[in-house]
Amino acid sequence: VRQLPAVSLVDRVLFGKADPYRLSTTQREAFLLDAVREALQSHLERNDPLSDFFTRRQFTIEQIQDVSDLDLVPLLPTDVFKRARIVSSSPDSIVQSFTSSGTGGVHSILARDEVTLQRFAGSLRSCTRLLEPWLAQEALDSRVRVVNLGPPRSADTGPWFSYVMALIEVLAPTQHFVHNGELRLREALLSIRKHLRSGFQVGLVGPPAFVERLVRFAEHNNFSVDGAEQLFVLTGGGWKHLHHQALDPPDFRQLVVDTFGLNSPVQVRDGFNQVELNSVFTECELHNKHVPPWVHAAVRDVNTLEAVAEGQAGLLSFLDATAHSFPCFIIGDDLGLLHSRCPCGRTGPTVEFIRRISRTSDEGCAMKMQAAISTLTWEGLNPNRSLE
């Protein structure tokens, strides 16, 4: 018997048979600790500027002895990805560079290699665990049809969000209903009706603003479906520049339930991802967004950037062990809360997003972030340049 090279720890859990959201707390913490350590080691060996940054911050991996020590890892403000190309893998291994679809003028650019993309796809698949028992894992490929209110993957090589939504086609047969920038509402509705009549489970996916538009169109045209108990609505990407029209999540869910005749709001879920993060946080049946076990999430004080106690709001930071081509040890612009456990029974924290910080109204925070950035010396990064 000859041994083949072992796959990494994170790949074993990410792609494993066991539900990663149902590891015991002990298993989860042990895995998270080792996975983040493994990721830190890997990036430090391949990324000299990161190594220098950590050295200047007087950080070594040996300081990480316990899960609580993960809060000591120096963080990269997500803004640095707008100013510099921060890559841990060799240029010839990069499959594609993705940009954020943010509302600002300057976009983050994240280079992803095969390993990183594979793991992202794995993270996306693991989210379907949170849709059980409505969705059986083995049914994905055969009994589910996806109606994507977005462009096909092949038509879109830029914004990360579109790529994420289109990647669902790998999990289940998918039709896309944005072509040449046009959202084809009527065709999408007819597709939903056709698949439900054929006895399939249907996943309607898209940004909430597009789903709302579809729902209003259905309402206006007195559109109804039979078998709506087999229809599931998955949103992601937020409202973006339509944030002023955003409905509160419970109101949005109720609108969808009422219009399509769903059995309950459980059939409407939202997911969170950003281009600088390589995992998706999906809602369970209680509409809590679960942090997968390969990600360490923390809340930071907006002024000191120190980790705060549970229940306090602050800036969200993440250490994502699945990112191979770029260091995903990040702090972003989202204010939020962490809850250490969810009544749904799954293990690990859930994250609650409150709002995105405003550079003008959250000046103290912005200045702190500016100070953090000024300690970075990546090529192409101008520390004197304004954050705006």
Partner 1 sequence: VKTDLLIARTSDDRRVAIWRTESLGPPRKSAVICPGFGRRMRHVGPIALYLAQNGVVTYRFDPVNHLGLSDGTIRDFSLEGTLESLRVTFEHLLKRESVETGTVVAASLSARTAFRFAANYPSVDKIIGLVGVVNGADTIRRALGIDYSDVALTALPDHVDFEGHQIDPRWLWWDHHERDWGSLQGTIDDLAKASCPVVNFAAQADEWVDSDDLRKAFEIGGGGPRSIFELPYGEHDLSQNPAAVRVVLGKLTDVLLQDEVSELDCLSPDLVEPSFDEILELIVAERELESMHRDELGQAD
Q: How far apart are CA 22 and CA 36, in angstroms?
A: 19
Beta bridge partners of 338: 351
Binding partner 1 by CB under 8 A: which of 30, 67, 95, 246?
95
CB of 9 to partner 1, least distance (A): 9
Q: How far apart are CA 77 and CA 331, in angstroms?
A: 5
Among candidate residues 48, 99, 38, 36, the one with its CA nearest the CA of residue 72: 36
Binding partner 1 by CB under 8 A: which of 129, 153, 289, 368?
153
Chain centre to alpha carbon of residue 327:
15
CB of 8 to partner 1, least distance (A): 7
Q: Give 144's DSSP letter.
A: E
Q: Is 91 in the site for partner 1 (CB under 8 A)?
A: no
Q: Is 1 in the site for partner 1 (CB under 8 A)?
A: yes
- Looking at the Cβ atoms of 117 and 376, the one nearer to partner 1 is 117
Q: Is 310 in the site for partner 1 (CB under 8 A)?
A: no
CB of 345 to partner 1, least distance (A): 24
Chain centre to alpha carbon of residue 384:
30
Q: Is 115 in the site for partner 1 (CB under 8 A)?
A: yes
CB of 163 to partner 1, least distance (A): 11
Residue appearing with tokens 């056709």: 194
Q: Is 59 in the site for partner 1 (CB under 8 A)?
A: no
Q: Is 142 in the site for partner 1 (CB under 8 A)?
A: yes
Q: How far apart are CA 99 and CA 276, in angstroms?
A: 9
Q: Are 187 and 193 in contact (CB under 8 A)?
A: no
Contacts of 338 (CB under 8 A, 6+ apart): 291, 297, 298, 299, 310, 316, 349, 350, 351, 352
Q: Is 173 in the site for partner 1 (CB under 8 A)?
A: yes
Q: Is 143 in the site for partner 1 (CB under 8 A)?
A: yes
> Which span (20-28, 132-140, 182-190, 344-352) binds partner 1, by CB under 8 A?
132-140
Beta bridge partners of 182: 179
16 to 45: interface string for partner 1, x by CB under 8 A: xx----------------------------
Contacts of 129 (CB under 8 A, 6+ apart): 19, 20, 21, 22, 137
Q: Is 354 in the site for partner 1 (CB under 8 A)?
A: no
- Looking at the Cβ atoms of 80 and 147, the one nearer to partner 1 is 147
Give the Å distances, CA to CA, from 35 to 112, 194, 346, 351.
19, 44, 20, 20
- Looking at the Cβ atoms of 4 and 309, the one nearer to partner 1 is 4
Among candidate residues 368, 337, 273, the one with its CA nearest the CA of residue 79: 368
Q: Is 133 in the site for partner 1 (CB under 8 A)?
A: no
Phi/psi of residue 178, nearest 5 degrees? -120, 120
> Which span (110-118, 234-242, 256-264, 303-311) binds partner 1, by CB under 8 A?
110-118
Q: Is 347 in the site for partner 1 (CB under 8 A)?
A: no
Residues forming contacts to partner 1 in the complex (CB under 8 A) are 1-8, 11-12, 15-17, 95, 114-115, 117-118, 121-122, 136, 138-139, 141-143, 153, 167, 169-170, 173
